[in-house]
Structure 1
């Protein structure tokens, strides 16, 4: 029997989950409800750097999500249309990474402690050790999300711009998938979920070829610009660009990379990362309008939604297939 599935959220988590479910569950009808879509999602605002950042404590699950996402992006990068999809390879450095958990990076090519010669090229303060280097991917959502959207529509998926304030709004559906990001807090009353406000600035600086993560700040090249940031302001819902934050970001990043002073500022943006003690990918049953509805949650990725999106989509699809008796229980 064809499954009628509602998905809340058209960000990278909602779209990748929809795409994977369409692949795995033949004949399903997917309808995505959204407040914002690309280019106005949190993922679009991000650099799209695939690197564990501001995520929860569930390290074992995260390692699997990261591994599966890296493999997926490697396949996409080998396509002729990788640039149009928004996938590129990127090397760079994590400076002052004393809280780095090497287990989370074991799948990244060339992850290692940076050499003295490498550090000498950019490190001006010897107190900012240790330094790690690695090769990873940029998954630029302003290209990637429209590509996912197109693929979902080609398989019969529908998109409806509508704010969902309660699961009751979707009680006609037998299956609801909650990929609402920080909006999941209000749908579920989840006290473990809270926003971490991030403010960034996009500049034209084509001479910068490597990414640099240092403390709360970063300089990350994308396909056609460079993103500098940022802020990690917990439980802050302000979506307006703050001049004081802008000045602090600019000063700190220009101190690290003085050539940025010659770059042209293109735009500034603010996003709310949905941080949780652990990423929630699980099923539950709820009574809605006197009928039992299956709700599949996939939210709480913090600053690592891009980094773990495909792995979480795989887990969500597996849970749903098991629920529908398509797969044996793990």
Structure 2
């Protein structure tokens, strides 16, 4: 029997060697989340949505020069949020982190980032000549640790998931042979996270230990409309994105991590409907801390980890919505149903 359990914290930081930091600006109603590895980590990315916004994802191509990244950033702010990785980069540079181009030259921290649209979240967006995101990136990097908040935290602060308040979610799973997989996600989707006409998350079959309320569908529940009635009301391109990170301690190559990211993207479809629309910028990073050698045959082990990654991502999406709190006119899942 292949038994799976939650990690000790049920967070992506159950993968040894990783830290996560959040920073928020409640006046602007936006925030930044950063994941930092103890050492550079091989990483890949898979983009499924039609409206992504990213920085330095081309550097993650397996044919590129740099083998590992120092940090990944999830940020609010739409394209303005692409300033956040620069703030993280400045913190890491001060720590002596980064890729050595040549002896005697400054090291260059490799920081990739993805953004979601929260410019309609309320708050004061008139920040003048300088966006708040570089500063938020610095604060998030300085705050990085193994414990961190979910829901209205970091990149989840201004997020909306369908008709409900979105948020930052995380989950982890450990196999019986002690491989760990973790997920981190900021949920800002067009699609709904709950079954039509119910308070049950689409991700309910994958829930562990009541982590997002333990609701189950009743036998009387009937199929809903083609498009859920509790989608985001004003659907416009570029204003919705679910951005995520999958991490594992299994030592995977960048090509294997690409396959892991592709498989993990199924977690979006297990937790949101509809998903990967022309209006979403859905994206998932996959990275490895390389702490545990991968068993043979490698393709079979990658497949096993990919299934676990997709399930963990679905759980993290539901947790992000479940842990969120109402903000302004946008009601949370718990204020709506509980």
Instruction: Identify the TM-score tier after normalising by the shorter chain.
Output: under 0.3
TM-score by length of 1: 0.25
Structure 1 or 2: larger helix share? 1
